Amino acid sequence: MTRLAIIGGTGLTELDGLEITHREVVSSPYGEPSGPVIHGRLFGTDVIFMARHGHGHTIPPHEVNYRANLWALRKVGVEQVLAVAAVGGIRADMQPGGVAIPDQIVDYTWGREHTFFEGELDAVTHIDFTEPYCPTLRARLLAAADAAGVEVARGGVYAATQGPRLETAAEINRLEREGCDMVGMTGMPEAALARELGLSYACCAVIANFAAGRGDQDIHADIEAHLSAALERARALMAELLKN
Ligand code: HPA
């Protein structure tokens, strides 16, 4: 069976119900991953888990060692990665508490270690990133959402911002004009690095809040009020995904 890993983001530093079989400390040529690779069983299926921000949620988005995390996952035999990532909703149907399966990315991050293909190389490599997410894994996520009765936004453009600060209202207006539907801080370079390693990678975006300037309450209050409902939906989707 294909080995699936779940990378958990904000609100998902642990997978409730995961029966942990062992924790594996993997060091990489790119430095230390966010934590050990966790091996276990969830909903009756073998799964691997990595907490993107560390187990105590202490690593901010711009300091996550994305290269080490993905390298470590591949080292232990992972072939598919489901990235769970909190986002702010920009498009009108991206309502807090909901879930989206994005199909495109615009990368606004800077200064992050964003490629394995640098330094002493045998050849220059340009990965094809036309479709940044694996269409097969995306289709499985959508089918799992349908089977679980979880309504999801079936596509959308993920804007990856640098953080750790949230955006200004004007920045969100600009992202919307540039075609973005949701905004988060961890989608890149994670997706591109996964592609460079030949991993099948897709994202389950949990909509925690209205993006800056779009809601009528403070963003942190919004996140407090809605993140857990969005994560519950993501969990129902994952349960279905792991059954199949
Ligand atoms: N902006 C950026 N990243 C986020 C947001 C947001 O509004 N919500 C959750 N992650």
Question: What does the pLDDT average to over 192-204?
Answer: 98
Q: Measuring from atom 2 of ligand 1, which residue has the nearest CA? A: 184
Question: What does the pLDDT average to over 58-77?
Answer: 97
Q: CA-CA distance, 205 to 183, in Å (whole number)? A: 10
Q: Identify the band that residue 21 occupies on the pLDDT scale cut at 50, 70 and 90.
A: very high
pLDDT score at 43: 87
Q: Measuring from atom 6 of ligand 1, which residue has the nearest CA? A: 88
Residue 226 is classified by DSSP as: H
Question: What does the pLDDT average to over 30-41?
Answer: 96
Question: What does the pLDDT average to over 118-141?
Answer: 94
Whether the link from the prior residue into 189 is cis, omega within 30° of 0, is yes
**ipTM, two decimals:** 0.99
pLDDT score at 14: 78
CB of 208 sitting under 6 A from ligand 1: yes
Q: Identify the band that residue 173 occupies on the pLDDT scale cut at 50, 70 and 90.
A: very high
Binding residues for substrate: 185, 209-211
Question: What does the pLDDT average to over 151-175?
Answer: 98
The closest of 141, 167, 166, 144 to 155, measured between CA atoms, is 141
pLDDT score at 12: 83
- Compute, in angstroms, the gap from residue 126 CA to the centroid of ligand 1: 29
Structure tokens, 99: 């879930």
Question: DSSP labels for 10-22?
Answer: TT-SS-TT-EEEE
pLDDT score at 54: 92
Q: Identify the band that residue 123 occupies on the pLDDT scale cut at 50, 70 and 90.
A: confident
pLDDT score at 10: 85
Question: DSSP labels for 85-152?
Answer: EEEEE-STT--TT-EE---EEEE---SS---SS-SS-SS------SS-S-HHHHHHHHHHHHHHT--E
Q: Which residues contact 11 (CB under 8 A, 6 or more apart)?
A: 86, 206, 208, 227, 228, 231
Binding residues: 10, 52-53, 185-186, 209-211
Q: Is the pLDDT of residue 2 over 80?
A: no
Question: What does the pLDDT average to over 136-141?
Answer: 98
Q: CA-CA distance, 63 to 56, in Å (whole number)? A: 14
Residue 228: count of CB within 10 angstroms of its CB: 13
Q: Is the pLDDT of residue 224 over 70?
A: yes
Mean pLDDT, rounded, of the chain: 95
CB of 209 sitting under 6 A from ligand 1: yes
Q: Identify the band that residue 170 occupies on the pLDDT scale cut at 50, 70 and 90.
A: very high
